[in-house]
Every structure is written in structure tokens, then in C-alpha cells.
């Protein structure tokens, strides 16, 4: 039975990883209370004691706006932590899978970003996530970077849960309509990471590097919100959907700049590992679980 070390175990993806691996692998699932990934000695101690075959780093400082004022914390969690995990993995010849983000790109245009396209992060979060990618790969050639976007699920804080909460508090909502991306179900991200890890453990070929994984079809936040409310109304989670108004990004200023275009090209992950895009519309069918 393969051994998996999962960091960020209480987060959206980390929770799903732990649930999906139960009974199928020897798991050590840790959150910041059990392991501070910014403490190099602590990381090496845990890794060398447990000796995992695979490390999946689902820990990150993902508060995009707060990151602008919490620069040192962002650098510690998004750069140093992944670096230490990757260095420790390398010492015991383990594979590391690290979750990254669409924020490494500038987020302009209408095309899909490929894995080797020019990066140009527009804020602290994107910059530190990009530096984390580089640190992981430099420390351990046996590494996978999985860039994803717009992650949602039944656990943790995310857009779907926020919309369902606000729908019960307000009659109308203003939602940004000029940012486009692929909502990605957290459980699908976990399944994808496990599938990649298992394929690497079995065939030993590696296929290491950067991969993109998101949901399809692409929508705006406004369109995503409308879909959430339609499903919630259909399943009697909401008596009546709020009026949803589409607004421009410029109408909703935030400390961190958001990508207007979060479309990621998913060709490589399909060709290499046979993995299909996340089906966010199917994931919303379970909307009662998000409302609890």
C-alpha cells in the first residue's frame, strides 16, 4: 500500500484527498496545527519519519486580497513551505504533487493558457504561487505542478457556498460578469491528483512537469451564480432566486487584481494521463450538501 503525505488536509482539496484515499493508501494527513510547512526542520522530521511515496501539497495562503498586505506570510506558505516539502521529498526519492493557480498568468485575452505560456502574475498571491512552482521543480525533478482555478466544493469557503448564503440574505446581488474561467469541483481536483500519483507509481515513467486542470464549460462569475441559483431553486434549497445583476470588474475594486481570462488549456493532461475536465454542472446537482 502506497504511503501518501497530505498537507493542507482541512482545506477544500485536502479534505477530499483524505476522504478518497481512506482504505486505499497509508495516509498521513496534516494541517497547519500538525505541521507548519514553513518550519524546515519540522518538515524534514515528518517526511523522514513517515517516508511517504507521494507528498501532495494542498496547503497555501489563498486569501488573494489579504496577500497584498501579508507579503511575508504569503512568501512563507506559498514559496518556502513548498520548497521544504520538495527538498524533503527529494531526499527520500518521493514524488511531490503541488497545487498552483491561474493567477500565475496576466489573465488577458480570450484564448486558453498553455502550460508553457509566458507567466506574468499581477499580485502577491500570483507571484508567490509562481515562485513556489519554481522552488518545487528546482528542489525535486520528480514533481508535478497542477494549476487549477475557481475551486469549489462542499467543504471550506468558496463561491458556491457564499452565493447560497447571500441568496438568503439579499433580494439582489451584483456579480462580476467580465471575468471568465472554468469552475472546478474540489473532489475532481483530488481525484485527478490521486490518479496522476498512481500512474506515476505504477509506470515509473514520470511525465513530471506542469499540468492544467479546470472545469468546463467556461463561464463568467455572473453566469456561474445564475447556474447555482437555478439548481438551488430546482432542488428547493431556495424559495426564490435573488435578482442577479452583471457588473464590470471596475465596478468592484479589490486590493488584488483578478484575471479577466482564467481559461486554461487542458490538452496536455488529457493526452498524458487521460484525464477529462471537471464537470461543474454535474457537481452542482449535489447542491444540498453545499447549503448545509
Tell me if 262 sits within 8 A of 150, measured CB to CB: yes
CA distance 288 to 292: 7
Q: What is the DSSP string of 11-35?
A: SHHHHHHHHHHTTTSEEEEE-TTT-
List 84, 103, 113, 125, catalytic entry? 125
Neighbours of 72 (CB within 10 A): 7
Q: What is the DSSP letter of 77?
A: I
CA distance 50 to 41: 14
Does the annotation count 222 as an active-site position? no
Tell me the chain's radius of gyration from C-alpha atoms: 19
CA–CA–CA angle 169, 151, 190 (5° rounding):
130
Residue (of 218, 224, 261) closest to 244 by Cα position: 224
What pairs with residue 245 in β-bridges?
174
| Ranges assigned E (strand) in 118-247 | 143-148, 151-152, 172-176, 180-181, 184-185, 209-212, 215-216, 219-220, 243-247
Give per-residue burial for 190-204: e unless 16+ CB within 10 Å, then b.
bbbbbebbebbeeee
Q: What is the DSSP string of 91-127?
A: HTT-EEEEEEEGGGS---SSSPBPTTSPP---SHHHH
Q: Looking at the annotation, which residues are catalytic?
A: 125
Amino acid at each position: 500500500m502506497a504511503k501518501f503525505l497530505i498537507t493542507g488536509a482541512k482545506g477544500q482539496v485536502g479534505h477530499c484527498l483524505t476522504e478518497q484515499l481512506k482504505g486505499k493508501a497509508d495516509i498521513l494527513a496534516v494541517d497547519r496545527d500538525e505541521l507548519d510547512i514553513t518550519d524546515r526542520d519540522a518538515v524534514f522530521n515528518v517526511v523522514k519519519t513517515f517516508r511517504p511515496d507521494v507528498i501532495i501539497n494542498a496547503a497555501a495562503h489563498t486569501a488573494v486580497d489579504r496577500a497584498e498586505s501579508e507579503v511575508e506570510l504569503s512568501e512563507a506558505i506559498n514559496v518556502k513551505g513548498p520548497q521544504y516539502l520538495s527538498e524533503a521529498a527529494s531526499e527520500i526519492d518521493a514524488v511531490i504533487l503541488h497545487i498552483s493557480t491561474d493567477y500565475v498568468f496576466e489573465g488577458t485575452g480570450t484564448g486558453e493558457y498553455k502550460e508553457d505560456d509566458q507567466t506574468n502574475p499581477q499580485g502577491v498571491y500570483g507571484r508567490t504561487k509562481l515562485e513556489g512552482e519554481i522552488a518545487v521543480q528546482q528542489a525535486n525533478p520528480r514533481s508535478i505542478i497542477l494549476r487549477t482555478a475557481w475551486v469549489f466544493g462542499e467543504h471550506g469557503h468558496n463561491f458556491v457556498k457564499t452565493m447560497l448564503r447571500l441568496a438568503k440574505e439579499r433580494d439582489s446581488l451584483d456579480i462580476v460578469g467580465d471575468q471568465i474561467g472554468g469552475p472546478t469541483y474540489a473532489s475532481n481536483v483530488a481525484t485527478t491528483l490521486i490518479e496522476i500519483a498512481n500512474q506515476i507509481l505504477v509506470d515509473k515513467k514520470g511525465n513530471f512537469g506542469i499540468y492544467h486542470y479546470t472545469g468546463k464549460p467556461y463561464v463568467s462569475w455572473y453566469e456561474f451564480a445564475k447556474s447555482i441559483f437555478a439548481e438551488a431553486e430546482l432542488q428547493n434549497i431556495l424559495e426564490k432566486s435573488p435578482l442577479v445583476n452583471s457588473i464590470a470588474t471596475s465596478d468592484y475594486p479589490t486590493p488584488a487584481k483578478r484575471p479577466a481570462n482564467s481559461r486554461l488549456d487542458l490538452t496536455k493532461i488529457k493526452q498524458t494521463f487521460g484525464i477529462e475536465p471537471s464537470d461543474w454542472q454535474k457537481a452542482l446537482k449535489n447542491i444540498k450538501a453545499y447549503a448545509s
